[in-house]
Amino acid sequence: MAKLWAVIRREYLERVRTKWFVIVTLFGPLFFGGIMILPAYLSVRSMREARVANIRILDATGTGLGVRIADRLAAPTLQGPSPERAPVDELRPAELAAREAELIAQIQRKELAGVLVVDSATVSSGAARYAGRNAGSVGDIDVMEAAIRQSLLAFRLESEGIDAARAESLTKVRVRLTADRVTDEGLGGSGIANTIFGFGVAFLLYFSIVFYGQAILRGVLEEKTTRVAEVIVASVSPDVLLAGKVIGVGAVGLTQQLVWVLSSVGFYTQRATIFGAMGIKGMPQVGLPSVEPFVLVALVLFFLLGYTLYASLFAAVGAMVGSQEEAQQAAQPVIMLLVFSIIFAQPVLTNPNSRLAEIVSWVPFSAPIIMPMRMTATPIGAGEIIGSLLGVLLASVACVWVAARIYRVGLLMYGKRPSLAELGRWIRQS
Amino acid sequence: MPTPALEISGVTKRYAAHTAVRDLSLTVPTGTVYGLLGPNGAGKTTTIRMILNIIAPDTGTIRILGAPHAAGASLDRVGYLPEERGLYKKMMVRDVLRFLAELKGIDRKTADLRIDEWLERLTLRTEAKDWGRAKVDELSRGMQQKVQFIGTLLHDPELVILDEPFSGLDPINAQALKDTVVELRRRGRTVIFSTHLMDNAERLCDAVCIIAGGTKVLDGTMTDVKGAHAGRTVALVLESDPPSDVRAALADRSLVARCDDHGRTFELELASGADAQTLLRRLVSAGAVIQRFERVQPSLHQIFLERVGATGVEPGMSGHG
């Protein structure tokens, strides 16, 4: 046991001390923090910065629609002070073309951001046109569309005899759709949050397994090519060496994820402060995913078993080959198994209860990635989760058994990469 | 009789295509320097790996210091220097050594003390520079060899196994290695080393085992081995290059079984049934001007050639060294 511990400690410390570990571990929270904050920041910012104030409105309707639109655009928003009111030119349809051309020239000279034109077609069918430097900004266009729609609606209500104040209050409708998830236990948290969380979990599992699996492969290969392996297996059995390696590297991965999870939780709980510091008052609502404790436990088990399964396969590949180049090639089948899992992430996430989703969460090679994603995105029966876990457990045991045998023989074999038949002999003979 | 340091009995190891070691038995007494000799591919490395439980024999038993070799505690008493040497390149020298010691069941404190001693003894730690704090790949090859050597001996093993220890050593490190082997023997430790260089073996070994083609050819103490081959070898030195009659006499297979010809100096092995007197008379009558004619003990090299030359070396046996 003391020797196993020595192997684990060496694997752990030698990796945790590297520059790369520190960089990736610290970069993670920045990355996740960025993912959490940046879209919210950008969306708020783009709304606030919508340059609809620096436009000119040409109104050829003769109904005062342009003024209504300008009023709405200038109304104070949640995000900040009310923008400057856009000037309105009321003119006859015949004058429209000339004035519009004149304004477009101004836009070219950057004296103006854009020009919004409303005419009789707007009143009858809602068709309006806008030309400006910010025509590509979805946020700006949305804001203008909303203003036109509301103004038109108010105008029509008034022309049907409803008084101005009432029309105003009737058209000021804000729609906010909250999507709640229903689970067996009742009403859960935000549905979208769970989907995002599910995808995050799948990505994290995939990333960790690929990253740390490859680390194991490189470690085994290093011991083999530097011939350190022979000194070590003269002191401890190859099984102890393999176990120590898998556990040590796994512990490095867990350390990293712990840092990530804790910092994400930190970001989340401190988000009000962070948004405040960035000058955003109205904080976009971020729904918390609702995850039951049972699912969390299963999540950790899926990670541990999935990691063990792939780590042992990568170790066997490392023991089979003699150089980095060969390793790239020989690792392909194992990588393919992982890629195959992540390819199904998207379809499974869009339709987590489909037959496809069920199948790939039962296949032991994809289950460690797909099942955790599925069960966080949508409620799944405990029986199915446990069954899938058992499948992964059995597959892990089988993979470790086979890999340990390949490892034992391959570690001291130099020269040509073994054929499948030779591999079979290695497995039988050791 | 004290417990032997190593007892191998009836050990066989087969691979798919060939038998690497066939029914090998040998005993290494405690406190001796033992040479495992043989041509490349004779099965030396396979034998050593089986002793260290790196590979399992198909049949036979191996006991180290009286206990089965597979028991973990047995291997803790063995120090091993493989033929192909290597260390973790990116690790600090001190950390590598501590790790190797821990794998032999030495606690960190004891290991650290011994590491200091060894680094100083092999001048890897001086007032000016402590190489123990450097990474392995910052060291020269010679220094890395020293570190590897420290790793082999750090846990003060009772049995030290060195596989081709002299290969790739510079003359200074080779001398240091010989000194250390002598020192280990003086302290009652047992050293087994494999080599195909007979000169080293002859000077260092108390006993030897010669294997070829996976089979033991002979074993015993150096005195016994030489004694068994004594009296059959004649050292001959001539005043001048031999005339053709003398050459004919030396080529006579009823008199001379083997002739190691160096021009004017010859190491001869008498044919069975022939005696030295007859050979001497024949040479004199053929006109040889003799400077020296002496019955000598054969060199280990001579014995090796005589015995292994007869057995032959199986081809295609070098896959595991």
Q: Please check whether residues B213 and B245 belong to one and the same domain.
A: no
B317 — pLDDT class (breaks 50, 70, 90): very low
Residue A215 φ then ψ, to 5°: -60, -40
What element of type H or E holds A290? none
Calculate the CA A187 to chain-centre distance: 24
Q: Is B289 a member of any domain?
A: yes
Can you tell me the distance from the alpha carbon of A236 to that of B76, in angstroms, rounded to the nearest whole number? Answer: 9
CATH 3.40.190 in chain A, residue ranges: 50-171
Whose CA is closest to A334, among A318, A346, A355, A322?
A318
Contacts of A2 in chain B (CB under 8 A): 102, 105
Question: Where is the domain boundary, B223, B245, B261?
Answer: B223
CB-count burial class (<10 Å; 0-12, 13-18, 19+) for A272: exposed
pLDDT at B26 over 90: yes
Count how many domains chain B has: 2
Residue B59 lies in a domain: yes
Q: Is the pLDDT of residue A273 over 80?
A: no
Q: Are residues B81 and B153 in the same domain?
A: yes
SS (H, E, C) chain B: CCCCCEEEEEEEEECCCCEEEEEEEEEECCCCEEEEECCCCCCHHHHHHHHCCCCCCCEEEEEECCEECCCHHHHHCEEEECCCCCCCCCCEHHHHHHHHHHHCCCCHHHHHHHHHHHHHHCCCECCCCEHHHCEHHHCCHHHHHHHHHHHHHCCCCCEEEEECCCCCCCHHHHHHHHHHHHHHHHCCCEEEEEECCHHHHHHHCCEEEEEECCEEEEEEEHHHHHHHCCCCEEEEEECCCCCHHHHHHHCCCCCEEEEEECCCEEEEEECCCCCHHHHHHHHHHCCCCEEEEEEECCCHHHHHHHHHHHHCCCCCCHHHC
CA A311 from chain centre, in angstroms, equals: 25
- Mutate which: B99, B141, B144, vs A, most A CBs within 10 A: B99
In this structure, are B86 and B191 located in the same domain? yes
**Is the model's pLDDT at B70 over the cut of 90?**
no
Residues B180 and B252 in one domain: no
With H, G, I as helix, E, B as strand and everything else as coil, classify residue A116: strand
- Residue B146 and residue B219 in one domain: yes
Q: Where residue B99 falls among pLDDT bands split at 50, 70, 90?
A: very high
Among candidate residues A211, A191, A213, the one with its CA nearest the CA of residue A203: A211
pLDDT cut 90: percent of chain A above it: 18
Q: List, in order, residues 6 or more apart from B155 with CB less than 8 Å away.
A: B76, B79, B101, B104, B105, B106
Q: Tell me, what's the ipTM? A: 0.79
Asked if residue B311 belongs to a domain, the reply is no
Tell whether A227 lies on the interface with B, counting CB pairs under 8 A: yes
Is B269:B232 a contact under the CB 8 Å cutoff? yes
Chain CA centroid to CA A413, Å = 43
Burial of A155 by CB count in 10 Å (0-12 exposed, 13-18 middle, 19+ buried)? buried
d(C-alpha B47, C-alpha A415), whole Å: 20
Q: Distance (Å, rounded) from C-alpha A331 to C-alpha A220?
A: 13
Contact residues, chain B, for A227 at CB < 8 Å: 82, 84-86
Option in A7, A230, A234 nearest B84 (CB): A230
* pLDDT band, very low/low/confident/very high, at A56 (cuts 50, 70, 90): confident
The mean pLDDT of chain A is 81
**Topology (CATH level 3) of domain A50-171:** D-Maltodextrin-Binding Protein; domain 2 (3.40.190)
A230 touches B at CB < 8 Å: yes
Mean pLDDT across B89-93: 92
Residue A341 has pLDDT above 70, yes or no: yes
Structural domain ending residue among the three candidates B170, B191, B223: B223
CA distance A309 to A303: 10
pLDDT of residue B254: 86
Cβ separation B103–A415 shorter than 8 A: no
Q: B44 with B117, same domain?
A: yes
CA distance A38 to A45: 10
Residue B208 — very low, low, confident or very high, per pLDDT cuts 50/70/90? very high
For the stretch A148-184, pLDDT in tens is 888 888 888 888 888 877 877 777 766 656 555 565 5
| Segments forming the whole domain that contains residue B269 | 231-296
Question: CB A233 to CB B54 under 8 A?
Answer: yes
Domain CATH for B243:
3.30.70.100
CATH classification of the domain holding B62: 3.40.50.300
A129 vs B: CB within 8 A: no
Q: Do residue B91 and residue B154 come from a single domain? A: yes
- Residue bearing the bigger pLDDT, A204 or B155: B155
Interchain CB contacts (distance < 8 Å): A and B: 61
What gap in Å lies between CA A194 and CA A248, rounded to an integer? 32
User: Could A236 and B84 be called an inter-chain contact, meaning their C-beta atoms sit closer than 8 Å?
Assistant: no
- For residue A10, which residues of chain B lie inside 8 Å, CB to CB? 95, 99
Q: Which of B88, B90, B99 lies closest to A6 in CB terms?
A: B99
**Interface test mutation site (partner A, options B64, B91, B98, B102, max chain A beta carbons within 10 A):** B102
Task: Using a CB–CB cutoff of 8 Å, tell me whether A281 touches chain B.
Answer: no
B162 and B245, same domain (yes or no)? no
Interface test with A, best of B84, B90, B141, B167 (most A CBs within 10 A): B84
Kindly state whether residues B18 and B93 are assigned to the same domain.
yes
Q: How many CA atoms lie within 13 A of A386 on its CB side?
A: 4
Q: Which residues of A touch B82 (CB under 8 A)?
A: 227, 230-231, 234
Residue A140, pLDDT > 80, answer: no
Question: Counting beta carbons within 10 angstroms of the beta carbon of residue B17, is it exposed (0 to 12), middle (13 to 18) or buried (19 or more)?
Answer: exposed
Task: State whether B288 and B191 are in the same domain.
Answer: no
